[in-house]
A and B are shown apart, each in its own frame.
Chain A
Amino acid sequence: MTIDAFLLSRIQFAFTISFHIVFPAFTIGLSAYIATLLGLWIKTGDDKFHLLARFWTKIFAVSFAMGVVSGIVLSYQFGTNWSRFSSAVGNVIGPLIGYEVLTAFFLEASFLGVMLFGWKRVPPWLHCLSAFIVAGGTALSGFWILSANSWMQFPAGHEMRNGIAYPVDWVQIVFNPTFPLRFMHMMTAAYLTTAFVVLATGARHLVAGKNVESAKTMVRMAILMIAITAPTQAVIGDFHGRDTAKYQPAKLAAIEAHWDSSKPGALVLFAWPDEEAGINRFEISIPGLASLVTHGSMDALFKGLNDFAPRDRPPVKIPFFAFRLMVGIGLLMIAFGWVGAWLWYRGKVFEERRWLWLAQYTWPLGFTAILSGWFVTEVGRQPWLATGVIRSVDAVSPVTTLQVAISLALFFCVYSVVFTAGILLINRLIDKGPDQTMTKDPPEQPSKRSLKAVQGEASALFGDGSPGDDKIQPAI
């Protein structure tokens, strides 16, 4: 492996996109959460929801800013570092990115202003609507970018002429085969990740004995979300894996560290894949289980890595280990959510200090799972940039090694400073908790109709501070 513009450009893209994805993943989920809170506030008139919405909106603002600025970098990097890719697939992927900007970015960016600064300027229903629009915008953005990414994983609806992809059928391009499940998988991941951040924040406040009421609401809402979405995510992930088996057999073989197609695939729990020798060392595995999971039968045969010429194989170790990390975290999330739900059902969720104490450290789980998932899918796509269309090595710009080395170093320094500062500031905001002073001057009631009747529903679900709720005592 030589250090050249190609290798450095790959590192630069991996570095910048890894930083970036953390923020959209969080803001997709958080905008939906804030919209939900505002909706509950309007429906119940309970200021608790309003307080929480304001609290999370501050955190949202900082995260969104970091997502925007790190995202602009990516939209330009296609050209600066991967210009041959831009020419080869521009006819097909360009429009998808174009639609992302037109349908999503403007929507988010414009209504973000209303959402962040419109508390006193617009009526509550419009403010709430803005939050829903922002949440919808972030999801739409995910729709288009995942469509583009999925097209690169398994291109469809195009034809090749002189090394350039030309569109033939736009429906097939947008809804390419691996897109629907990848989209669902990523969206669910985003909501789940945010739920864990909300849970950890609530738990942190409860353990510290501050903002008890709002913290309880956060914990309840998060448990509900996790207990449902974490297992759902496992099911979606399973179907998504079958897509991979069907459309990207080389990636699947790397994920499973499956070398020999004459035998059914074993579910490898641990191994050290030896890419030189084409075998696994120190393997611990369950025979036939990988075949069962991906192809529905213990005896099913599927392609092994040895069926692919070395130049057509993805690297094995990264997809292999990253996949195990992702699945491991996923199982942990399910367990954590269900234990929480069980405790809640028993009415002990705020008494079981050990669970709460653990919960405050769960916020990195979702982010780690998302990053490892993306490492699986992106490294597993190699050596292609767009499978069968253009290889990564043929896609790099005619720029010098020195240029890319300098830009990579600059990105490294700037991101270290800016994102460290951002995360520390978010941490400070989370620590501070909802600004209790704001309840003293609540904005006008969201609705003129009598709300006593409907007040019950959401409050019953998430607690309204009735006597039984107050069992937790401040720690000190």
Chain B
Amino acid sequence: MEWYLPVIWAVLIGTAVMLYVVLDGFDLGIAILFPTTKDEGERDQMMNSVAPFWDGNETWLVLGGGGLWVAFPDAYAIIMPAFYIPIILMLLALIFRGVAFEFRWVAKPHHAKWDLAFWLGSTIAAFAQGLVLGGMIEGIKAEGGQFAGGPFDWLTPFTLMCGVGVVCGYALLGATWLVFKTEGPVAERARRQAKKLLIGLMVFAVIVSIWTPFAHPRIAERWFTPSNLILLWPFPLLTAFCGYMVWKRLNGPHEFTPFAFTIGIFLLCFLGLAISNYPYLVPPKLTIWDVAAAPSSHIFVLIGVSFLLPMILFYTAFVYWTFRGKVRADSGYH
């Protein structure tokens, strides 16, 4: 088997998941912050700041799941049943939150229940994604190419903490997005909230960084072997720098940079987790080569990806550009 094909695909799927986390992260995040205001106009403004984008953002989740099946069918076949309950929960939650975008406007003035659906759906979806993340780090029991664990293997103190961490992180993305895209009271409040959420996210990152090497010798070995340490020490430092910059820029008049540096934190944390687990896709045993699809399948889709992905990125950028600028309280799209 061509050894490099699974590597290319791992990078591609990693990119898709990362894009998903950042893009859907901020629109799940604004929903997580929904209950912090009771004012209908402000809620409209928050929702409008993501309304033209959310559907495209969520498509990266389909690409993440679909891509996993395309490139690593055995990993898909093990991971999905292993996280049966969190994944089903996430899907149901995403239903509520997705339809709330449309139903809320049509149902007005009787839209209180869709506000609740929007908030609760987004929060549960984010929490469930955290559970899956934690469960992936902890490892999955597999035998003969199939999941071999119990229905609640994913439920541990660590995964619950990851759930809280992801909710907090998405809320930070949402808050900094609001600082960037809105003005007036919504942006003011988001600026205050972002600081608290930043502290929460940094605490979470520190705990994960300490917890995982202690719990998993392979991760400790990866980071603390002297030859690796020389290469890897900038990672925690850069993460801390990004955190500091978010804090500093939130104090000033800056509107875009807090969001940009928050993305930096996410990117670095994601890379850190990838470094911890490489080359395992289904820790602790199965590497990306163990679970890869046939080379012919990899190549067939790769040909399409090579020109479709740039196109997708191009028109995604076009849509963001079309809806550039501030979303004011009175500039509803509906």
Contact = CB atoms under 8 A, between A and B. Distances in A.
Contact of A102 (B145, B296, B312): B312
Given A65-B99, A418-B95, A121 B323 contact: yes
Given A69-B95, A94-B69, A105-B59, A425 B297 contact: no
Interface stretch (B72-80, B168-176, B231-239, B244-252): B72-80
Given A83-B81, A84-B77, A414 B95 contact: yes
A100 B70 CA distance: 11
Given A110-B315, A410-B92, A69 B99 contact: yes
A83 B73 CA distance: 9
Interface in A73-116: 73, 75-76, 78-81, 83-84, 86-87, 90-92, 94-95, 97-103, 105-107, 109-114, 116
Contact of B58 (A68, A400, A425): A68
Nearest to A425: B106
Contact of B84 (A70, A80, A425): A80
Interface string B22-62: 00000000000000000000000000000111011011011
Given A91-B294, A105-B62, A117-B333, A79 B81 contact: yes
A398 interface: yes
Contacts of B102: 61-62, 65, 425
A64 B58 CA distance: 13
Contact of A86 (B59, B69, B296, B323): B69
Interface string B305-334: 100110010011011001100000000010
Interface stretch (B146-154, B185-193, B211-219): B146-154
B67 A98 contact: yes
A66 interface: yes
A125 interface: no
Contacts of A106: 56, 59, 63, 312, 315-316
A160 interface: no
B103 A421 contact: yes
A189 to B, nearest CB: 24
A66 B99 contact: yes
B80 A87 contact: no
Interface in A358-414: 397-400, 402-403, 406-407, 410-411, 414
Dominant SS among interface residues on chain B: helix
A15 B18 CA distance: 32
Given A62-B102, A86-B77, A113-B319, A75 B66 contact: yes
Contacts of B14: none
B260 interface: no
A102 B316 CA distance: 13
B229 interface: no
Contact of A90 (B73, B103, B146): B73
B203 interface: no
Contact of A98 (B74, B301, B333): B301
Interface in B90-108: 91-92, 94-96, 98-99, 101-103, 106-107
| B78, B293, B294, B315: most-surrounded residue (chain A CB, <10 A) | B294
Interface string A274-286: 0000000000000
A266 B103 CA distance: 50
A106 B81 CA distance: 27
Nearest to B143: A398
Interface in A133-191: 166-168, 170
A69 B308 contact: no
A429 B103 CA distance: 11
B65 interface: yes
A246 interface: no
Contact of A113 (B67, B301, B304, B323): B323
A270 to B, nearest CB: 40
Nearest to B149: A398
A100 B102 CA distance: 24
Contacts of B87: 76, 80
Contacts of A87: 73-74, 77, 145-146
B87 to A, nearest CB: 6
Contacts of B74: 87, 90
A62 B77 contact: no
B85 interface: yes
A407 B84 contact: yes
Given A94-B70, A167-B300, A398 B147 contact: yes
B151 A399 contact: yes
B98 A98 contact: no
A100 B62 CA distance: 10
B275 interface: no
22 contacts: A73-B91, A78-B80, A83-B81, A84-B77, A86-B77, A90-B69, A90-B293, A91-B297, A101-B63, A102-B304, A105-B63, A113-B52, A116-B52, A117-B52, A121-B323, A168-B296, A170-B296, A170-B300, A397-B81, A410-B88, A425-B103, A429-B106
Given A68-B98, A80-B87, A118-B322, 14 more contacts: A58-B106, A69-B94, A72-B58, A75-B66, A79-B68, A83-B147, A90-B297, A97-B70, A98-B69, A102-B63, A112-B56, A167-B294, A399-B84, A411-B88
Interface of A: 58, 61-62, 64-66, 68-73, 75-76, 78-81, 83-84, 86-87, 90-92, 94-95, 97-103, 105-107, 109-114, 116-118, 121-122, 166-168, 170, 397-400, 402-403, 406-407, 410-411, 414, 418, 421-422, 425, 428-429
User: Top 10 A-B pairs ranked by shortest CB distance?
Assistant: A90-B73, A79-B80, A113-B52, A83-B77, A117-B333, A98-B70, A69-B98, A94-B70, A397-B81, A109-B55
